[in-house]
């Protein structure tokens, strides 16, 4: 059985990885040609162009992965049927499920690897690409924010800053209002504030503090004031905080909790984007399962009809996914259903196609 498992995995993996390399190269070439005018007009050095291409490559690999493994699996099983090898294996006492088992295990492992790849290499490369592109084409930073206001998820305080600089993690012209039972009990205004990593809070500088004591307001000037209550992390002040696809997971979860308490409509969109990010590698496994559930009992042109059948079902998956994402972002369905519905739909459709093929085979 080890020989069979090794043969199945090697055959599928070899074709899939070859397809992945070709598809990623084609996507890279299209991306380079599409940006050629920008590179020429801004006199971008060749080394920088290659750097941008390398930073684009992880995203292209992720885009091509699912279709590549669909092709590799479909090609292998169509060849088993076309060359009558499947009949030999079945006559040897092996079930179809037993033949598919190593491919399913391989699909789960590959999906897990791509999940790690997405959360590390791809996100870092995407952020680096955006920053380098912004520098080349006239913007100083994609992360700086102006006139930004954030609230504590528990409703304890509000923070407003005229400007946030991502480069040095500084807030400028900043105001803080501390609340108790809906009333302002303390207000702080400072010229700037810096983030203290060790204490996990902001230190405000060159400002004035107003406090409500026994029903009377008092104020005092300060040169430096550490405010432990204000613990909103700097990442949440950046424009990146609105881009769930590139945030750290912990920051993304904190951002979602904050938004959920403030605006349910914005939360629905952000939560759907977060689930889309987490499920980005899932099509690799789903399309592999589609290929396994397809009917390969064609009398002629087995590979041609098999690949058409698999691709058609894959198109259904992406269409259902698109509709489900739109519905989830508009709060028509729960965000988690944007991941579940496409998977359930295409697996049921693939199983139905296989059953129909078996009945007429």
252 occurs within a structural domain: no
Q: Which of 103-112, 172-181, 267-276 has the highest mean pLDDT?
A: 103-112
| Percent of the chain scoring above 90 in pLDDT | 33
Q: What is the pLDDT of residue 62?
A: 92
Q: What is the dihedral of CA 296, 289, 336, 342, to 10 degrees?
A: -20
pLDDT range class, residue 241, cuts 50, 70, 90: very low
183 shares its domain with 287? no
More confident residue, 289 or 153: 289
Annotate 158-213 with three-state secondary structure. Answer: EEEEEEEECCCCEEEEEEEEEEECCEEEEEEEEEEEEEECCCCEEEEEEEEEEEEE
Whether the pLDDT of residue 130 is over 60: the answer is: yes
On whether both 130 and 166 belong to a single domain, the answer is no
How does strand 183-196 pair with strand 157-165? unpaired
Q: How many domains does the chain have?
A: 2
Pair (150, 224) in one structural domain: yes
Q: What pLDDT is attached to residue 162? A: 83
> 113-121: long-range contacts at Cβ-Cβ below 8 A with a sequence spacing of 24 or more?
114/62, 114/65, 114/280, 114/281, 114/284, 115/278, 115/280, 115/281, 117/58, 117/61, 117/62, 117/281, 118/62, 118/277, 118/280, 118/281, 119/249, 121/58
**pLDDT score, position 298:** 64
Query: Per mean pLDDT, which range of 180-184, 187-191, 203-207 is the poorest?
Result: 180-184
HSE-CB of 347 using CA atoms within 13 angstroms: 11
In a domain, 244, yes or no: no
HSE-up (13 A, CA, CB side) for residue 4: 17
Q: Is residue 245 part of a domain?
A: no
Query: What is the structure's pLDDT at 34?
Result: 85
Return the pLDDT at 306: 80
- Tell me, yes or no, whether 73 and 155 share the same domain: no
Q: Are residues 98 and 196 located together in one domain of the fold?
A: no
Asked if residue 82 and residue 201 are part of one domain, the reply reads: no
* pLDDT tens readout for residues 102-112: 999 999 999 99
* pLDDT for 358: 62
Q: Of 237, 267, 301, which residue sits at a domain end?
A: 237
Question: CA 187, CA 189: separation in Å to the nearest integer?
Answer: 7
Question: Per the domain annotation, does 213 fall within a domain?
Answer: yes
Q: Are 284 and 164 in a shared domain?
A: no
Of 237, 254, 270, which residue constitutes the final position of a domain?
237
Q: Do 86 and 9 share a domain, yes or no?
A: yes
Q: How confident is the model at residue 64 (pLDDT cuts 50, 70, 90)?
A: very high
pLDDT at 4 over 90: no
Kindly state the percentage of the chain with pLDDT values over 70.
Answer: 92
Domain that holds residue 7: 2-137+279-359
326 in a structural domain: yes
Backbone angles phi, psi at 30, to 5 degrees: -65, -40
pLDDT value of residue 244: 76
More confident: 209 or 127: 209
pLDDT in the model for residue 360: 56
CA 131 to chain centroid, in Å, comes to 18
Q: Do both 8 and 132 map to the same domain?
A: yes
**Does residue 266 belong to any structural domain of this protein?**
no
- Domain boundary residue among 237, 270, 301? 237
**Residue 76 sits in the same domain as residue 201:** no
- Calculate Rg over the CA atoms of the chain: 27
Contacts (Cβ under 8 Å, ≥6 apart) of 65: 20, 110, 114, 281, 283, 284
In a domain, 242, yes or no: no
pLDDT for residue 141 is more than 50: no
Distances (CA, A) of 244 to 248, 251, 255: 8, 9, 9
User: Would 288 be classed as within a structural domain?
Assistant: yes
Same domain, 78 and 31: yes
Nearest to 4 by CA among 103, 70, 91, 150: 103
Task: Mark whether 45 and 118 lie in a shared domain.
Answer: yes
């Amino acid at each position: 059985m080890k020989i069979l498992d090794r043969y199945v995995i090697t055959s599928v993996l070899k074709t899939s990885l070859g397809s992945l390399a070709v598809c990623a190269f084609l996507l890279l070439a299209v991306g380079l040609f599409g940006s050629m005018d920008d590179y020429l007009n801004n006199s971008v050095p060749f080394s920088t162009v290659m750097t941008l291409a390398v930073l684009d490559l992880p995203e292209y690999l992720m885009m091509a992965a699912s279709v590549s493994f669909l092709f590799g699996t479909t090609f292998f099983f169509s060849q088993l049927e076309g060359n009558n090898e499947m009949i030999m294996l079945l006559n040897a006492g092996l079930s179809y499920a037993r033949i598919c088992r190593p491919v399913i295990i391989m699909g789960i492992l590959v999906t897990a690897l791509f999940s790690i790849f997405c959360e590390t290499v791809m996100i870092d490369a995407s952020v680096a690409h955006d920053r380098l592109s912004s520098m080349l084409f006239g913007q100083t930073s994609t992360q700086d924010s102006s006139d930004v206001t954030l609230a504590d998820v528990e409703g304890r305080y509000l923070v407003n800053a005229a400007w946030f600089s991502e480069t040095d993690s500084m807030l400028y012209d900043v105001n803080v209002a501390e609340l108790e039972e809906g009333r302002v009990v303390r207000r702080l205004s400072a010229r700037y504030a810096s983030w203290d990593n060790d204490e996990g809070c902001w230190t405000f500088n060159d400002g004035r503090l107003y406090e409500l004591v026994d029903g009377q307001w008092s104020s005092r000037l300060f040169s430096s004031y550490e405010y432990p209550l204000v613990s909103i992390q700097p990442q949440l002040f950046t424009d990146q905080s609105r881009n769930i696809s590139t945030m750290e997971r912990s920051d993304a979860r904190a951002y979602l909790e904050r938004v959920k308490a403030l605006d349910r409509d914005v939360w629905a969109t952000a939560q759907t984007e977060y689930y889309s990010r987490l499920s980005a590698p899932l099509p690799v496994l789903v399309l592999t399962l589609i290929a396994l559930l397809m009917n390969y009992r064609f009398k002629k042109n087995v590979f041609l009809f098999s690949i058409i059948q698999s691709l058609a079902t894959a198109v259904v998956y992406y269409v259902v996914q698109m509709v489900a994402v739109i519905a989830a972002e508009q709060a028509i369905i729960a965000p988690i259903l944007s991941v579940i519905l496409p998977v359930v739909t295409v697996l049921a459709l693939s199983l139905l196609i296989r059953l129909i093929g078996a009945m007429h085979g």
